[in-house]
Structure 1
Amino acid sequence: MIFSSWQFILLFLPISFFVYFWLNRQRKIMGGKIWLVSVSLIFYAYWNIYYLPLILGSIFVNFAIGTRLSRAQRLPSSTHSSNECCSRKKSLLVSGIAANLLLLGYFKYTDFLIENINWALSTSYAQPHILLPLAISFFTFTQIVYLVDSYRGETAEYNLLNYSLFVTFFPHLIAGPIVHHRQIMPQFSSKWTLLPRHTNILKGLFIFAIGLFKKVVIADSFAVWATAGFDGGQPLGFFDAWATSLSYTFQLYFDFSGYCDMAIGASLLFNIWLPINFNSPYKALNIQDFWRRWHITLSNFLRDYLYIPLGGNRSGEMRTYVNLFATFVLGGLWHGATWMFVIWGAMHGIALVIHRLWTRLRYRMPIALAWFLTFMFVNASWVFFRAKTMDDAVRVFAGMVDFRSALAPTASIPTSDLAWSGWLADSALNLIPASLMGSIPIYLSIIVAFVIIAQKNSIEMLNGTMNLQKLIYGATTFAVAMCFMFAATSSVFLYFNF
């Protein structure tokens, strides 16, 4: 079940909403929480019920470790026992984090490790081809954050029900955002969230409609062109290659942006504000700014729990560069167990090092040039992110620099049957390279995408008074998106794969 499916929109979400607030109206607050945890687990098990024990086991183990860490933090102690207690706490934290990472590593990287061992040592160990459980990266990272916060004494004394709700709340369960307990649980404890609030309902439906439109109308349309180019196997000319790379660049943008909007919208129906995870990243003027806008909670996680523990910028300039590079290589590997993701992460690590060196020179680049260079780099790096093999990436890049194909003879298209034929039509068509003719619909869509990303984003549109104009706009986009949704089967959100 995905956010853009009719089962979610017409059945799961309305039933979850009405039963939850009905229970709250009956003053059965605990019953409401039990209901939300139950439907969230149903939402998760809908994909593959065999992995339901995995997430339940992960919740129980991490809750037990977090509770011990939290209680140990509040125990009074002498200096001697304090040092001993601190040592035990640190060992418990390390053990908890290691257990989470080992679980993630087993499911996500076993095949990758065996494949590389076979290649390096010329062995032939069998790969188990383990199916990656849905959302394991996100609920693992969420719980690592909880363990670290418990170690620091920043968590309250939660019972198992509240902790389960924090981990499984379905709007953020599958693909984030990666949340801290302090961002979610105080909201569920507030009396202001127990009953429906019309303002939040209207805002939630509005932003959910925008996200649905982005996904099923824009992202899924670009997906067809991106898949044909990357997976087709045929050589690509100049215009086809650029159409392929830009199609995926916008497919990923509107797919992830659409998911983030729908997650925020669904959560708002329950009066819960999720942290913003996507903030117009293609408006960024440098690569650092891009990572402050793209998958914001993941960027914060990598900074707080990887970059800073590695030393951050505290050990000299050269060590800072090494830490930046290592953080993004590991961030790339987090996205998937292939060398394509490692290369993508390494490219961004190098780009951040170059940006840091550039800022030391104190030169200001023209805004238009800064945006163009940032966007072109991001677009190029997405080729490795999308390509399944190095051959696929090389094939796309080869087409992107195949200027000879761009200068191929112009199209010879008869225009006698066209209503607008004549000298002007003949002249216009004869100026168009033959290799561009088949890609004209794609490039028109790409132009529209550039126009859209230059506008206010959905969060900016959401802020302020919910007036009639916004409601009409939201209802219209929802209606159009629903038509597209029923006309074709919507694909899974791309970040569900990570």
Structure 2
Amino acid sequence: MLFTSFEFILAFLPVVFAGFFLLARFLGREAAAMWLAAASIFFYGWWSTTYIPLLLGSIVFNYTIGYVISKYREAQSSIARGALILGVLGNLALLCYYKYSNFFLGEIARALGADAPALHIILPLGISFFSFTQIAFLVDAWRGQAREYSFWHYLLFVTWFPHLIAGPILHHGQMMPQFRDPEVYRIRSRNLAIGIALFAVGLGKKLMIADPISMYANPVFHAASVGQEIGFIAAWVGALAYTIQIYFDFSGYSDMAVGLSMLFGIKLPINFNSPYQARNISEFWRRWHMTLSQFLRDYLYIPLGGNRNGETRRMINLMLTMILGGLWHGANWTFVMWGALHGFYLCINHLFQKLTEKLNLKGRLPEFITAPASVLLTFLVVVIAWVFFRADSMPAAQVVLGGMAGFQMDKDWVSIFKGLSAISFGMYLLVSMIIIWAFPNIYEVLDLLLDKLKIQSAEGYRVASAVCVSAGILCAALIGVSMVSTFGTNNISPFLYFQF
């Protein structure tokens, strides 16, 4: 079920919201938690009920393994260690079967010169996210940082509908204290205001920017996939359009997920923090898909050795982490290349930082020159990497990159962008880049507004009231315009991260 759909906004969300707080008041917190878990499973099964047993089976398996780890971690560590290995391998095996079977079989068959057997496997929605969430739980249980005996709370932790399909990747310790907190089960106007504001902004990003501009990215990458030549202008239009699309699509989903969760009094970790404002690629990864970056750092990069074994090993660990992070996104060499590129970027950035410190170059040029130049360079290399992320195949990516480099002659605009206006694209690009580079993000705005609301004076209260009323009107208008803009059209599409 899409967050942007009428059935979600007008039916599912109001019913689940009302049921949660009514059950909490009259039947208790356990009944309310069970209601949310049941609603989350219904949400997951809206598209297809086929994989609900798989999801529930994974949850029961990991809950049992986590219980064994917690029980025997100190008394009989060998049992706990064996359970941890079994749990992690079980999750990885499930993920590999559904996500990578055809890819690996195809590569083996290609190497042997044989025909690859076709396995008709449909990728379960959100399998990467609920698998990684539960792997983190098992590792945290082994470290003594997670201990769970309530099955219903664990079920809700994994299936919680705002995050289930496309993240953020949650940690047990972030969620369990909230499910036990009595304050979560009471309606709070502050939570409602913040939740609605975040949902409205996320909805606007998705429906008013990401979906419309995707119409300029899709024709370019489709033409490249069938071997059509892509000229310089068309290639850059397609690459920039996808760069903007994935930014506002994923940013919009992340805002909506945090906002929806806040309506119920539950705080999700922020997963997106203006990454295109980053001045280097390391900062980009501290701002983009933040929970995945933290997961890769804590459960892959550091266990591999991190930066503890010299510079060469550090570079190898960075490359391995990013290549595996790319492969996590999908079973295609394009994702591997995307991850490898970002690994290479991180290595170059690290070496550059060391060289700058060694030669004492930091501060030699004024900030007003270095800051925008750094942001622009980081943005450029990210755009290049996105070409591999979006392309259907390596040859298709090479066609688009060749066009961006000017290796192919420009074709007529109409031959690729049938019925699409170049002026409209220019307006989308201009507005998007102003929002990305000149405006604070919604979390910065909310922090500022909440600080203003703390003013303890008559004048302060009048300002606070005016701010609240204005923000409420703006959010209502944004939701209304977003929904009307897509009414009767076919522009609404699933969030891009649903496929991962």
Distance of 1:183 and 1:391 partners within structure 2? 43
Contact 2:148 2:154 in 1 (8 A): no
Contact 1:239 1:439 in 2 (8 A): no
SS, match of residue 475 in structure 2: helix
Aligned identity (percent) is 47
1:485 match: 486
SS, match of residue 80 in structure 2: helix
Distance of 1:19 and 1:203 partners within structure 2? 21
Structure with higher Rg: it is 1
1:31 match: 31
1:137 match: 128
1:287 match: 281
Distance of 1:438 and 1:22 partners within structure 2? 51
2:204 match: 213
SS, match of residue 154 in structure 1: coil
Q: Does 1:457 align with 2:441?
A: yes
Q: Does 1:255 align with 2:249?
A: yes
Q: Which moved more, 1:282-291 or 1:159-168?
A: 159-168
Distance of 2:144 and 2:489 partners within structure 1? 50
Q: Does 1:87 align with 2:78?
A: yes
User: How far did 1:11 drift?
Assistant: 0.5
The residue identity in structure 1 corresponding to 2:433 is: F
Distance of 1:105 and 1:459 partners within structure 2? 36
Contact 2:36 2:156 in 1 (8 A): yes
Q: Does 1:340 align with 2:341?
A: no
User: How far did 1:405 drift?
Assistant: 5.1
Contact 1:209 1:477 in 2 (8 A): yes
Distance of 2:403 and 2:136 partners within structure 1? 43
Contact 1:307 1:324 in 2 (8 A): yes
1:40 match: 40
The residue identity in structure 1 corresponding to 2:257 is: A
User: How far did 1:94 drift?
Assistant: 1.1
1:390 match: 394
Question: Runs of 5+ in structure 2 lacking a partner?
Answer: 413-419, 454-466
Distance of 1:94 and 1:370 partners within structure 2? 43
1:359 match: 353
1:5 match: 5
User: How far did 1:404 drift?
Assistant: 8.2
Distance of 2:280 and 2:116 partners within structure 1? 44
Normalising by structure 1, report the TM-score.
0.90
Q: Deviations over 1:453-477 (max 9, x none)?
A: 1211111122214622222221121
2:462 match: none
Moved over 3 A (4+): 403-406
The residue identity in structure 2 corresponding to 1:458 is: I
Distance of 2:27 and 2:77 partners within structure 1? 42
User: How far did 1:28 drift?
Assistant: 2.3
2:324 match: 330
User: How far did 1:488 drift?
Assistant: 2.2
Contact 2:196 2:259 in 1 (8 A): yes
The residue identity in structure 1 corresponding to 2:208 is: V
Contact 1:33 1:165 in 2 (8 A): yes
User: How far did 1:156 drift?
Assistant: 3.0
Q: Deviations over 1:231-265 (max 9, x none)?
A: 13432222211111000000000000000011011
- CA root-mean-square deviation: 2.0
Contact 1:118 1:124 in 2 (8 A): yes
Distance of 2:111 and 2:2 partners within structure 1? 40
SS, match of residue 292 in structure 1: helix
User: How far did 1:90 drift?
Assistant: 1.6
Question: Runs of 5+ in structure 1 lacking a partner?
Answer: 76-84, 410-436
Q: Does 1:313 align with 2:300?
A: no
Q: Deviations over 1:332-373 (max 9, x none)?
A: 000000000000000000000001100111244711211111
Q: Which moved more, 1:387-396 or 1:99-108?
A: 387-396
Q: Which moved more, 1:109-118 or 1:483-492?
A: 483-492
Distance of 1:159 and 1:361 partners within structure 2? 52
Distance of 2:446 and 2:58 partners within structure 1? 36
The residue identity in structure 2 corresponding to 1:97 is: V
Distance of 1:252 and 1:222 partners within structure 2? 10
Does the C-alpha gap of structure 1 residues 129 and 19 become closer, same or farther in structure 2, counting only changes over 3 Å? same
Contact 2:2 2:494 in 1 (8 A): yes
Contact 2:201 2:478 in 1 (8 A): yes
Q: Which moved more, 1:216-225 or 1:233-242?
A: 233-242
Distance of 1:373 and 1:341 partners within structure 2? 22
